[in-house]
Amino acid sequence: MKQRKIPLRKCIVCQEMFPKKELVRVVRTPDERIIIDPTGKAAGRGAYVCRQESCLRPDAFAAGKWKKVLERALNMTVTQEQYDEFREKWLEMMGQ
């Protein structure tokens, strides 16, 4: 029997390829909100983040690295308010 292809996606932080199911999806919704999509099916432009320690660390947020990465990946200008809201949700989800 023929094996199915495993879809790969690139992490927006470290730029490495991983199987889609191993990544966390971040979505820009049609109403310009940034949400974390655990199902992988939310409508909107999506980007993926791997679960490696270096990509999930809160100090990456402090350096402002994430804001630029999100803007580039989601093709939008991220306001400080949107960024702060996303950061809170992200850290809550990661249990930090």
Task: Say if 57 falls within a structural domain.
Answer: yes
Sheet holding 24-28, edge to edge: 34-37, 24-28, 45-49
10 SS3 class: strand
Task: Say if 1 falls within a structural domain.
Answer: no
Distance CA 61, CA 67 (A): 8
Q: How many domains does the chain have?
A: 1
pLDDT by 10s per residue, the chain, length 96: 788 999 999 999 889 999 999 999 999 999 999 999 989 999 999 999 998 888 877 676 666 778 889 999 999 999 989 988 988 888 888 775
pTM comes to 0.86
Task: Say if 3 falls within a structural domain.
Answer: no
Task: Say if 66 falls within a structural domain.
Answer: yes
Distance CA 13, CA 3 (A): 30
Task: Say if 2 falls within a structural domain.
Answer: no
> Where in the sequence is the domain holding 70, given as residue range(s)?
8-93
Distance CA 76, CA 85 (A): 16
Q: Which CATH number belongs to the domain containing residue 43 in this structure?
A: 3.30.1230.10
